[in-house]
Amino acid sequence: MAEIKRTIVVIGMGYVGIPAAALLADVPGHTVIGVQRRSKRSGWKIEWINSGKNPFEGDEPGMDELIHRVVLEKKTLRVTDDFSVCKEADVILIDVQTPTNTERIPEYLSLRTVSAQAAAYLQPGTLVIIESTVAPGTTEHVVKPILEEGSGLRAGEDFYLAFSYERVMPGKLLEYITDFPRVVGGINEESTRRAVELYKTIVRREITPTSLLTAELAKTMENAYRDVNIAFANEMALVCEAMGVDVYEIRRLMNARHDRHMHLPGAGVGGHCLPKDPWLLKFGVDTYGAYPVPMRMIALAREINDSMPLHLVELTEQALNERGVHIAQAKIAVLGVAYLEDSDDTRNTPAAPVIEALQRKGATVVAHDPYVRELEGYELTRNLEQALRQADAAVIVTKHKPYFALDLAWLREVMRTPILVDGRNVFEAATVRAAGFTYKAIGKG
């Protein structure tokens, strides 16, 4: 196939934009420009990436080598804060965060802002692809009008518009782009065709063309499905605690049947997707659907999953009481503030409500994470001994690999009170109790 030359602008240098930009820049004929605003929190990424360095601190296979190659060797990727580069683009990818607020309504400040900034430089023939997860109907009813008004061009005639959702996960950012099936929905047939042709350059699996609305629904339903299944696992964990058995043994027995898959229970559901995508789905139906749908299961699943960090705090207080320690006089080490193991991603981390609930009860809390630079508003250290020294309880929120290697004899020595509360099934109960600890764990009676 003949080499196709494209200039691609990727707006948003986060967990979606960076791997997408780097993979596209590795394709012969592609020149990629990342756009990142210079905020206090993330503006440092511009110089960091432009020096050929990977900004992710967790375990991201292949990312170091890929960024070094496309930035310093091929020189096909650079990052800027200047939106005027959009006038050079054959393709613009929009990869910004789309959170929901406390009323569970989508906040599209970033999406609206960057759409308007891109529109100011949009040229005829450009393909715009929304990769950010949005409420079904958003590309048509929110993004399209902004692009048309700001550019004076018409979608589907003068420029092309599509939605193609990401399925990335920290720790597997590159793999989940290249080796997962892709769904592409355009505003018209030509928009879909052009988007499919672009993704063929980096995706090794099947790429399925569909309608714009179907693609948006598929993404939000996919994450709602997972959230509901995690909620089932969490509720069964509570059942097993009450019955005095181990939920992980139950899970093993259930999943031995090939057509069953019980998810893992745990200390809470975090990340940018699962805590808010079910609400995006509901908002889309409520706003653009022909009639309202109650969606009771989704609301209940969210309630269950949001309760798990507080249940972990209840287990901690129970353990302290058994040891005769009042929680208001306790020092508690929270181990892990990333929402996912071996990553530095703290978005919607369940560690935050754990810490806040412990502090409301008067405890002194020191949080530790081997990968996270900072967690705004919380005391955080990368020194594990500092966190655990004279602690009355160690509470595992994230199953980072270093925690599996904790030496229980050393832990018993440095802690003031030997209490281990396990939110992620890092340890075996019998082993910990044999070492002299009070051990509480989600899903273990």
Q: What is the pLDDT of residues 144-193, one digit of tens each?
A: 999 999 999 999 999 999 999 999 999 999 999 999 999 999 999 999 99
**Rounded distance, CA 92 to CA 284, Å?**
24
Least confident of 40-54, 163-177, 237-251, 266-280: 40-54
- 376 pLDDT band, cuts 50/70/90, is confident
pLDDT higher than 90, residue 16: yes
Instruction: Share the mean pLDDT of the chain.
Output: 97
Each residue of 288-339: pLDDT tens digit? 999 989 999 999 999 999 999 999 999 999 999 999 999 999 999 999 999 9
Residues of the chain above pLDDT 90, percent:
95
Q: Calculate mean pLDDT across residues 28-51.
A: 92
Shared fold status for 6-219 and 299-441: yes
Active-site annotation, residues: 219, 273
Nearest to 200 by CA among 385, 396, 24, 419: 24
pLDDT at 42: 77
Helices of type H across 13-124 = 17-25, 45-50, 63-68, 109-119
H helices of 206-333, in order, are: 212-243, 247-255, 277-288, 296-322
Q: What sign for the dihedral angle of Cα 203, 204, 205, 207?
A: positive
Report domain extents, the chain.
6-219, 299-441
Asked if residues 127 and 159 have their Cβ atoms less than 8 Å apart, the reply is yes
**φ/ψ of residue 17, rounded to 5:** -65, -40
Quote the longest CA-to-CA distance of the chain. Answer: 74
Residue whose entry in the numeric block shows the structure tokens 């996960």: 169
Contacts 24+ apart (CB under 8 A), 196-199: 198/6, 198/8, 198/24, 198/91, 198/127, 198/129, 199/164
Tell me which of 3.40.50.460, 3.40.50.720, 2.40.50.140, 1.10.10.10 is the CATH number of domain 6-219. Answer: 3.40.50.720
In this structure, how many other beta carbons lie within 10 angstroms of the beta carbon of residue 362?
Answer: 11
CATH number of 299-441: 3.40.50.720
Q: What is the pLDDT of residues 343-358, one digit of tens each?
A: 999 999 999 999 999 9
3-class secondary structure, 185: strand
How would residue 1 be classed by pLDDT, with cut points 50, 70 and 90? low
pLDDT over threshold 80, residue 43: no
d(CA 131, CA 164): 5
pLDDT in tens, 310-319: 999 999 999 9
